[in-house]
Structure 1
Amino acid sequence: MNEHLLTNPGGGGNNTSVTMELVKCFHDDDAFKYRAYTFTYLLLFPVAFLCNIGALAVFFMQSTRRSSASCVVMMNLALSDGSFSLTLPLRLAYYFRGGVWEFPDWLCRLCVYGFYVNLYTSILFLTLLSVLRWLAVARPLGHRAQATPTRALLVCVGVWLFVGVSSAPFLSNGVTNRAGFPRCFEPSNPSSWGRVLILNYVALALGFLLPFLTIISCYSSLVRRLTARSGLHGSGRRRNRHRSVHLVAMVTATFLLCFLPYHVIRSLHLHAVCGGWNCDVTVALQRAVVVTLCLAASNSVVNPLLYYYSTRTFRDNMRDAHSSLLSSRGGSFKSGLALIRRRNTN
């Protein structure tokens, strides 16, 4: 169910020969995995870290952030992605060393845990954003009273707690020894693949399929309402509706590109391992999991684009923040901040 299950499979105690054959096949292909992860994380780390930390800074500079439930959710999403980016240097060091872990055991556990917390908090926060946009279009008069920032914050806290507790089993797998070297992201007990397959389907149903169906429902409803009200007057309302459709469309694209391939291929790979499929097929699926896991990790750099292109206030504050940074060279940083505050209160 997780990335460290890609390297040391076992089919259980009933078929030791199949297990040992799969272990050999997997480890013969370690070089592909190390190269793919190294290349991906080298690209992701600077972009994910700078974009998400910058997004958090812009959100905090918005004086109206407490009056927007969507902004509260986006701040939590940026916090999740920014936290995940901080684990990437450790992963890079591990893969640069050819799969040798030279850090404490608790850091290995934290890296594994952090990936899944980021993955499923991102999915649920994106789903929550889509629901909020649907409410804004479906109930334009009453949605602010229903979707208050306080309620949004409570839901976000619930998401953190739910995903954090559900992902706790990943903390049980730390550093293990293989071929005389300390390894991370590898299972310590190769006999638990049947249980992992069950956990995979629980995560697939609650962590992906249910949110994805919710987003599709929101998107379908928004398109129908936009089409039905296309003749209504008021350019401001039309712009709001178009922004709502753009946001849900971008969220849907994120699910299709980043999350869907990983969950499908991961499930097939687990079936191949548990079912003792042909070695060549299993290794091919492992490579596919490596590629789709890289796509899933890339959601940490895709989400800042969502903030920028779907939120006019975010774009305005980015421009004002840039102006304030430039003006600070001349000693007028405070006037730049005042410009941001004036824009937010208008």
Structure 2
Amino acid sequence: MSEDAPTAVYLAIYIITFLIGFPNSALALYSCINKIQRKPIPIDIFMLNLAISDLIFLTFLPIKMKEAADNMVWNMPYYLCHFHLFVFFLPVYSSSLFLTAISAERYVCIAFPVKYKSPKRIIYTVPVCVGIWVIVAVSFIFVYKAAYIDSDEADNTTNQRPLVTEPQTCYSNFTEKQLRELLPVRLGLAVVFFFLSLLTCCFCYISFIRILLKCPFINRQRKLRAIGLALGTLLVFASSFAPLNISHLVGFINKKNPEWRMTALTLSTLNACYDPIIFFCISREMRRVIKVCAKAFFRFYANLKGQFTQNNK
């Protein structure tokens, strides 16, 4: 697909992501809170922040749905364009860092089991999470500034061109001056939040698998499940964030936005569907919560069916 592909495809992806991701992310948040209240460990703190990141993204995803339904014409108040950029891109980049932190935690868990159980480690986890949010937010300010300001103006006044160079669109058309400022910033984001994070995840999970295979006291079934989860997480990370960040690299090389950038951006939203799968595989608490919810649903369905049958007699 390219940018002239039917926007109905983008709308369908947004709707599927919202319907699947929102309830599962809410369950993940609930299970993380329950687990932390009982016995907090560092990986639970990172998973909690990942769930919050996904919920922020999914809560405001209907703005993207509205844009796609209007054939990418911006028919909403102009200030929402700026706001939705923040709540759309902030969770995308924060998710990549929290997934990286989770991969590091899983590596430390098996490589240094004694240190991992130290209660002092939980003290350092919260500042790390706060640091991730701050880093992503500050990075977005650079993107926002680069897209807004024509810094090459000869006069000394601050000339702010609108982020939306055509009033009917949002964050799609830029002047040449804006692109000269924006493309290097995007490349920096791709290097820090994707390529370095991907290398870190690869190192952690490959080391995790190597150590796991050498452990004689772990049965084969548990090893295969852990290896499958590690490889699956890497696949989710790459498939979710690679298209968008590769578009940053291609855009920097070609000095323009790739025609398929909108498709790459849309595919990155699917990460909100994949993250709950990781929660389900890692967290025993979330599996328990899902079982409880499933039993309650089937009990409600059985009662409703019984009442319906009695009324028809």
| Band of TM-score, shorter chain | 0.7 to 0.9
Matches within 5 A, 1:1-346: 31-32=4-5, 34-62=7-35, 64=37, 66-145=39-118, 148-172=121-145, 173=148, 176=164, 178=166, 181-187=167-173, 189-229=175-215, 232-233=216-217, 235=219, 244-274=226-256, 285-287=258-260, 289-323=261-295
Identity of aligned residues (%): 22
Kept after mapping to 2: 8 A contact 1:308/1:314: yes
Q: Secondary structure at the match of 2:171?
A: coil
Normalised to the residue count of structure 2, the TM-score between the two structures is 0.80
Measure how far apart 1:135 and its partner are. Answer: 0.6
Measure how far apart 1:206 and its partner are. Answer: 1.0
**Cα distance 1:170–1:201, how it changes in 2: closer, same or farther (>3 A)?**
closer
Measure how far apart 1:118 and its partner are. Answer: 1.3
Q: Deviation per CA, 1:220-243, whole angstroms, max 9, x where unpaired?
A: 2112212222xx2355xx776555
Q: Deviation per CA, 1:287-314, whole angstroms, max 9, x where unpaired?
A: 3x23222221110110001111232332
Normalised to the residue count of structure 1, the TM-score between the two structures is 0.73
Q: Deviation per CA, 1:190-215, whole angstroms, max 9, x where unpaired?
A: 42222222112211221111111111
Query: What letter is aligned with 2:213?
Result: T
Query: What letter is aligned with 1:296?
Result: S
Task: Give the distance between the partners of 2:111 and 2:55, measured in 1 at CA.
Answer: 32
**Cα distance 1:188–1:293, how it changes in 2: closer, same or farther (>3 A)?**
closer
Q: Deviation per CA, 1:260-286, whole angstroms, max 9, x where unpaired?
A: 232223321343344xxxxxxx8xx41
**Cα distance 1:196–1:79, how it changes in 2: closer, same or farther (>3 A)?**
same
Kept after mapping to 2: 8 A contact 1:36/1:290: no
Task: Give the distance between the partners of 1:320 and 1:30, measured in 2 at CA.
Answer: 43
RMSD over aligned CA atoms reads 2.9
In structure 1, the gaps of 5 or more residues are 1-28, 275-281, 330-346
